Structure 1
């Protein structure tokens, strides 16, 4: 059985501090997409990293430092998709992770 790992105090403090403006923009863009397109379908965990990549690239350019940083921070703050959670429900949690409902 693999050993359990825990985040460092610095990583945990950053996670609790909330996302920066770039990651907030990406989280909000993903939430908008999920709300506007088939919100009643089941969300998939496998889509989470793909959406983070797509929207960080769309907002900040292909393979730029800013886009890579936004993608990494987005993935850090985007909650994992729950079983049987709809895209609309997941969008609500993304908005909360971004710092509030909009």
Structure 2
């Protein structure tokens, strides 16, 4: 089924992802060529689908690539994504 032109509510999930990707990734980088753009969007899509906190899941990632630590942690580890443009935070078990 084709989406009507200029109809913002026709595909809200795609519109949300595109807006978020623009604000968090591509608006802050100087994109050199198509290969660079595909690389940045690929890494951002992986971050968006696996590691970002989700409010409806009590700030747990949608599909974590490893088990989530319990609440008995004492420190938080920061890991840069896209050269430090985005930072991922994960608890470190004591």
TM-score (norm 2): 0.32
TM-score (norm 1): 0.30
Structure having the higher helix fraction is 1
Q: Greater CA radius of gyration, 1 or 2?
A: 2
Structure having the higher strand fraction is 2
